Structure formats: structure tokens, C-alpha cells
Amino acid sequence: KNSEDNLLTDFLNKAYGLNMKYVPYKGGGRVAKELAGNNANSTVNNPSEQLGFYQAGKTRAIAAFTPTRLPLFADAPTFKELGKDFVYFMQRTVVGAPGMSKEAATYYRQLFAQIYGSDEWQGYMAKKSLQGGFLTGDILMKYWLREKAIHKVMLQKMGVLK
């Protein structure tokens, strides 16, 4: 409970008049397995968690939260294509401790920039149908502020915030 998947499920229910029940599992792989085994009706999995079952024909992609269709799930329309102007990314960010030195922060920024730009990482993202970008500094802060605003609207539509 109180996970990003739970938030998305509750938001979809309130915003679009759906009636889905969120059931927590330990990890997205387990959720994907339960769906493939007909022990769940739907999930809000990350693409990589669902990909094997989808490719085996055991699950079906219904809609993507992304602005454009995901290449490995090309038959799944975006929410915008379905008439719902909603985009959502499950972010992953590396954050340092408050007292981290500028030198250490610079070192890690450079290291992660190198990793992100590598052919190996880009290939992994393509293979798993992941979308993302390497954001730091002011650009990352703008992203976080935009995400905070999106979450505020979601919580308002759910009736949690006024």
C-alpha cells in the first residue's frame, strides 16, 4: 500500500470512473506473474517487468502512460490517443547525502553521465522498452517540480488534497 502503483490505480479509478482494486505484491515481477496466471485482472507494471509475458502472449498491453507509443508494445495506445491527456513516468534518481562534498558529487555526476551515455546502457534501455534521460542540476530540479505539480493534481482528483 502507498506505493506509486497504488497511487496510479487510485488516480485512474477517480479520474476516469474505473473500479480497479489495488493489491500489493512484493515486486513488479510477482505482479506480472500473477497477471499472466490469471490471478489479477490488470497491473501498472514497468515495461521490463511485463515484457516476457507480453512477448509470450500471456498478457496484453492496454495503454501506455508515455507521450508516444512504446516500441516493444506498439499495439498499446497512449492515454492521449484514448482521449485522456495523461503522461506519467516512474522516475528513478540517484541522490547523494546532504553533506556530500562538491568533489564527490562531481565525480558521481560524471560517472553516471558516462554510464548513461554508454552503448551498453542505451542498449539495455531499448531492450527493456525503457524511456529516460540523464538530468542534473537545474534541469533535474525543474523535472522534480513538474512531477510534484502532477502528483498534486492527481491527489486533488483523488480527493486526498483540496
CATH number of the structural domain spanning residue 151: 3.40.190.10
Digit-coded pLDDT (tens) for 32-52: 999 999 998 888 888 888 899
Whether 102 is in a domain gets the answer: yes
pLDDT at 1 over 60: no
**Burial, 11: exposed, middle or buried (Cβ in 10 Å; 0-12, 13-18, 19+)?**
buried
Q: What pLDDT does residue 130 have? A: 87
Round the average pLDDT of the chain to a whole number and report it.
89
Whether 65 is in a domain gets the answer: yes
Share of the chain above pLDDT 70, in %: 99
Share of the chain above pLDDT 90, in %: 49
* Residue ranges making up the domain that contains 61: 4-157
Measured distance CA(11)–CA(44) in Å, rounded: 12
Whether 51 is in a domain gets the answer: yes
Whether 162 is in a domain gets the answer: no
Q: For residue 59, give the C-alpha cell.
A: 498478457
**Is the separation of the CB atoms in 15 and 85 below 8 Å?**
no
Residue 127, φ and ψ in degrees, nearest 5: -60, -35
pLDDT at 108 over 90: yes
Digit-coded pLDDT (tens) for 75-92: 999 999 999 888 888 888
Q: Categorize the per-residue pLDDT at 116 as very low, low, confident or very high, splitting at 50, 70 and 90.
A: very high
Measured distance CA(91)–CA(109) in Å, rounded: 17
Whether 127 is in a domain gets the answer: yes
Q: Categorize the per-residue pLDDT at 11 as very low, low, confident or very high, splitting at 50, 70 and 90.
A: confident
Q: Categorize the per-residue pLDDT at 2 as very low, low, confident or very high, splitting at 50, 70 and 90.
A: low
What's the domain count of the chain?
1
Whether 124 is in a domain gets the answer: yes
